[in-house]
Structure 1
């Protein structure tokens, strides 16, 4: 062909700020775009073979690959594929006219003979990401078409190009980037490996990375395993190994332990740094538990075992595959945020795209591959499309189906996992109405006897004495005195210690009329009390209120006197459920120091048991020598069972305890 020169023409319908800084937010993404183009070229060749328009020779098909050469010395990056190649006319059409997609043209031409599977490119702009990091780019290509001539294309700064014949003899395309001074890091082999691992680990074609300046590495293998493609450095003959053996008759003889072998020292064979057939592309029936676990460890670098997983495999009405793992999370030390990697035809797009992954599932770890996603030009974000909502709904449904199915058919494991998965499920119920409807019968509550109950079973447990009421504890250790009271009366108590439990039970109350959740320190029900004369009760209340106000030096103190069945309990603190929830809400919004009564809530109430000997002592000896001491101690004992003491109160409590012991031992 005659040498030509010209200016790049930009399709007027696709004018984008594409070159240099503006095409992509992450400059390293050019690796993904150029390797994707190479994968597409190979995939197209395979499809042409399937429909009889190209015939592979010998084992040619097994050698299809993309090569990346990182040459820090020459400040270049080279991307080589042995795919379909391009003619001069095709380069002029696909490269010189920006935003003309070769993938779309190929699909249009063969739409009646093949399908879109594994064709990655859709926009025709990926190649130009090279100019974000390179001042000069060259393309050398030879088409698969019979009689084609090799062509070389060269461009400086993405503006002026030149194109001419070249001497390339092997089919495919070679793209060389001459990096600018700000982008030399990308020619570092280790940096290149890191980026390829990020974006291209699972592309549908094997990818090889090499560094021409690195010291050669060698392998030693049996001579019989040497192939025509191996470069033999030297032959190594290992003599037979022998040892002396003593016979039964006492004679000795030398026997051969291993025969003589001939080995070859060869240049280390190239090893693919990608996995073209990731686990999610397989049918679930083809995957073993060990493979699922291994894939999890490799992709997410998590040393812990996942609890279980969901394999997504859908062909209609859209194509979606993936694996979602429920990780074991130590919420005390770790963030509960997971990672869900989004792929398009095995090409990494982004982590945790909220339009596709329901917010409550972002605590999971997993991969989702959906070729039908409507991506924008940089493939890194989604265009607004109702289709995306359908995908999100499908993922939510599959998770709900898995969890409900497990609860029905594998209850033992479901209960074993519950402490780990309950925050996911409760968050999902709060955020997604459909998910909530599907999971409402499969939400479990663990009681103080470590038994798991459904919501309906919790209500049934206390139905006789406390209809429509579920009692709960947020801290079984701190609130142990209250727990013992409820246990002695055979009243069931469930444990709700996660932060998400409070909004979750509020939602349950809203959805179930008349049902209420009450913390065990919120009130003292008649179950725990004995009848007492009202006048007698008022007299005791007046005496005790005055005594405690004096001892604690407080003008206001809400004191309530009850005659409790359990005489061993001297004092306790109650705080109404409404007031406590109000206080929790104020803490959440940074209003912890404000008085809850401003919002209609009451403060804590000191409940004193008139059936207890210490309380009786105060009633009978309001001015006694040790009355103040006992009042202060009973108040702190009540507080300790309700909430941790502040440092000053704890110090005073310890000093007072020592003093009481001294009095006892005198």
Structure 2
């Protein structure tokens, strides 16, 4: 006997123990889903075998009639799920069942509340899969053999769903997987032919391969020949066993669409919305695509597989077809079934195929149309979508030039005209509220909503009642660098360059500004000399009404917020003059601190106040001081002089 063939007892990964405990206690009210999950896994195994066998027919081992069998044994209190799909090796069993390798596992457990009802939603979002067996079973035995391997290379896995499991190499004549559930006390309701059939019809009718159960055919008497045909047992297909997406939309209920989503997405919750469409012509294909109601935990994992499965004439090809959906729509789940592609299509062909490119373009249009319709007809649902996937959609404005205008229409932001940080203002909403004569869409970027809402750059806009979009997501800096205009309106940062607001000023205000600028010429010059190594210019501000000063970057320079993000990411830091273009310091001539400088005769004191003003602006912009102790020392000195 080889080392591998021996029986081993191994401990579950800590996360598996936690998940098992949560599932058993939180999903108990919906325990019949165990059968749906195990049937879904069996269906996936059959799909994978069908695809692998396209290039190696011997994997069928003389049996190409793929099916799933459900059996129950009342005296032994067992339910058995059998498939003749791809099967697993010993290593695959340990990888897939002994551990959870899903991205976002840590965040998943951090979000659990201890409230069973709320936690059950999260568990469903995370995916329950094989472990759902332990909702009804106190012991599970899995026997499997990978297609194409020797009979002696079967694997048996057993566990009571507590701290450990056993695994051993066994003989298994047939390929595929057999799972035996030893039911807990009190779960005998599932040892019933009608109960199991009703669950299959409810949750798994859409599975495209047969799900069979045994049925007793009663004895019949042939009166003409006076013979009795004895009773016998026959297999009966319980589900409709046809590809749901190939049916007419009129034939499919909302419940059937929902259950198919849960199968294809391995999700526990209802989808938010979906689109089912058949495209005819030279390049024929059918698509059934869903928007989940919640973001999957691997949404930000760039190595995660995309959620759209490729079929060719109802034959599963791959669930890793990046060519079917762009990165910014990676949350989409569903299938695309192409009629015009060859069954033996390779990854290389997929990458280079013009037909695939056409299908992808068509699928993207359908998804964008679906989201546009949702935004127009159901604002509440669209807000739910935006809260889950808004940041991902924003990537599309950077990545998808062809659809940039359509994507921009879907964007939502916070606004200075509301007190809520909820992002629910569209660019069209903003344009509809623009002041007469306004030709720009104004925005400010910041680390968070509070920083944006309280930015000194907003002061003059509040005074003139001009709306400003508050952009607080990290992706927003890349978004506005790519989306420079919308509907012929230029997007303008209120913290960059000169503000074009003089059209909203009266002649008296313009004259007053000119006089003030002349009056402060010497002050600005002296401040410039003090801050020569930190700023490119000191000038009178037309943006401030309450704050003494603010920092501004050049119209074509990187914003201070962007420089901060780059610095935190380990990139070269140009912020506040550190190795790059220097910002501009704007001062408010009506503020008492600035007026103090106008009359200050002591050069050292003038320099200290100037440095304090500058450091304050750095802090208000969310930046960090090079040496905070110097700032504190100068500030304390100023306070002491005021008390003297």
TM-score normalised to structure 2 length: 0.55
Tell me: CA distance 1:544–1:357, structure 2 relative to 1, closer, same or farther (3 Å): closer
Cα deviation for residue 486 of structure 1 reads: 1.7
Correspondent of 2:557 among 570, 579, 600: 579
2:123 aligns with none
Counterparts in 2 of 1:332 and 1:35: CA distance versus 1, 3 Å:
closer
Indicate the residue corresponding to 2:330 in structure 1: 362
Contact 1:468–1:515 (CA<8 Å) still a contact in 2? yes
Of the three residues 313, 320, 323, the one matched with 1:352 is: 320
How far is the alpha carbon of 1:604 from its aligned partner? Answer: 0.6
Corresponding residue number in structure 2 for 1:494: 469
Per the alignment, residue 592 of structure 1 pairs with: 572
How many correspondences in the alignment? 459
Is the alpha carbon distance of 1:67 and 1:440 closer, same or farther for their aligned partners in structure 2, counting shifts above 3 Å?
A: closer
Which residue number in structure 2 is paired with residue 409 of structure 1?
A: 377
Any conservation in 1 of the 2:538–2:584 contact (CA below 8 Å)?
A: yes
Deviations 1:42-96 (A, max 9, x none): 79xxxxxxxxxxxxxxxxxxxxx964798999xxxxxxxxxxxxxxxxxxxxxxx
Cα distance in 1 for residues equivalent to 2:513 and 2:486: 41
Q: CA deviation at 1:189?
A: 5.6
- Match in the other structure for 1:478: 451
Structure possessing the higher radius of gyration over alpha carbons = 1
User: Residue 364 of structure 2: which of 396, 405, 418 is its match?
Assistant: 396
Query: Is 1:284–1:311's contact at 8 Å kept on the other side of the alignment?
Result: no
* Structural RMSD (CA): 5.5
Structure 1, unaligned runs of 5 or more = 1-24, 44-64, 74-129, 135-176, 192-206, 232-269
Q: Which residue of 2 aligns with 1:568?
A: 546
SS in 2 for 1:309: strand
Name the residue aligned to 1:543: 523
Q: 1:486 to 1:504 in 2, by over 3 A?
A: same
Change (3 A) 1:294 1:545: farther
Aligned partners of 1:548 and 1:631 also within 8 Å: no
CA contact (8 A) 1:541 1:560 kept: no
Residues 245-264 of structure 1 mapped to structure 2, 5 A cutoff:
none
Matches for 1:153-168 after TM superposition, within 5 Å: none
Counterpart in the other structure of 2:386: 418
CA deviations 1:378-406 (Å, max 9, x no partner) are 68963854332332222122112212222
- Residues 597-651 of structure 1 show CA distances to partners (whole Å, capped at 9, x for unaligned) of 999x9531111112111111111014178544432221112122224214x4445
| Equivalent runs, 1:250-649 vs 2, <5 Å | 276=241, 280=245, 296=261, 299-301=264-266, 308-314=272-278, 316-317=280-281, 318-326=284-292, 328-329=294-295, 334-335=300-301, 338-344=306-312, 347-370=315-338, 372-376=340-344, 382=350, 384-432=352-400, 435-436=403-404, 438=406, 441-450=409-418, 452-459=424-431, 461-475=433-447, 476-479=449-452, 480=454, 481-509=456-484, 515-520=490-495, 522-524=497-499, 525-526=501-502, 531-532=511-512, 537-538=517-518, 540-547=520-527, 549-550=529-530, 554-555=532-533, 557-562=535-540, 568-580=546-558, 584=562, 587=566, 592-593=572-573, 603-623=582-602, 626-646=605-625, 648-649=626-627
CA distance in structure 2 between the partners assigned to 1:565 and 1:358 by the alignment? 41
- For residues 56-135 of structure 1, what are the structure 2 equivalents within 5 Å? 67=84, 134=149
Residue 610 of structure 1 aligns to a residue whose secondary structure is coil
Asked whether the equivalents of residues 608 and 615 of structure 1 are also in contact (C-alpha less than 8 Å), the reply is yes
8 A Cα contact 2:527 2:538, kept in partner = no
User: Cα distance 1:33–1:502, how it changes in 2: closer, same or farther (>3 A)?
Assistant: farther
CA offsets 1:95-153 (integer angstroms, 9 cap, x no match): xxxxxxxxxxxxxxxxxxxxxxxxxxxxxxxxxxx99954xxxxxxxxxxxxxxxxxxx
1:307 deviates by 6.5
Shift in CA distance, 40/556, structure 1 to aligned 2, threshold 3 Å: closer
Match of 2:172 in 1: none
Q: 1:473 to 1:432 in 2, by over 3 A?
A: closer
Rate the CA distance shift 1:583–1:490 in 2: closer, same or farther, 3 A.
closer
CA 1:592/1:223 → structure 2, altered by over 3 Å: closer, same or farther? closer
Contact kept, 8 Å, 1:573 with 1:607, in 2: the verdict is: yes
TM-superposed CA distance for 1:591, in Å, is 6.5
Task: Determine helix, strand or coil for the equivalent of 2:294.
Answer: coil
Question: C-alpha displacement at 1:534, in angstroms?
Answer: 5.3
- Partners in 1 of 2:191 and 2:482 — Cα distance? 72
User: Against the structure 1 CA distance between its residues 483 and 581, is the aligned structure 2 distance closer, same or farther, given a 3 Å change threshold?
Assistant: closer
Give the aligned partner of residue 106 of structure 2: none
- Give SS of 2:613's match: helix
> Displacement, 1:489?
1.9
- Indicate if the aligned counterparts of 1:521 and 1:642 stay in contact, CA closer than 8 A: no
Instruction: List gaps (5 residues or longer) in structure 2.
Output: 1-47, 68-81, 91-144, 160-174, 197-212, 217-234
- After superposition, give the CA deviation of every residue in 1:152-176 in whole Å (9 maximum; x if it has no partner): xxxxxxxxxxxxxxxxxxxxxxxxx
Asked if the contact 1:344–1:371 (Cα under 8 Å) also holds between the matched residues in 2, the reply is yes
For residues 425 and 383 of structure 1, do their structure 2 counterparts lie closer, same or farther at Cα, with a shift above 3 Å needed? closer
Alpha carbons of 1:627 and 1:30: their partners in 2 closer, same or farther (altered >3 Å)? same
| DSSP-derived class of the 2:612 partner | helix
Q: Which TM-score applies when normalising by structure 1?
A: 0.54
Mark the CA change 1:328 to 1:474 in structure 2 (over 3 Å): closer, same or farther. Answer: farther
Secondary structure at the aligned position of 1:477 is classed as helix
